[in-house]
Structure 1
Amino acid sequence: MVAPYSLDLRRKVVQACKRQGQSQRAVAEFFGVSLSFVEGLLRRVRRSGELVPLRRRPGPHAKVDEESCQRLERWLAKTSPT
Structure 2
Amino acid sequence: MTIFKFDIEPVAQARPRAARIGNSIRMYDPKKTANFKTDLRMMAQIAARGKHYKLLDGGLDVSINVFRPIPKSWSRKKHTKAASG
TM range (shorter): under 0.3
Higher strand share: 2
TM-score scaled by length of structure 2: 0.26
TM-score scaled by length of structure 1: 0.26
Give the number of the structure whose alpha-carbon radius of gyration is greater: 1
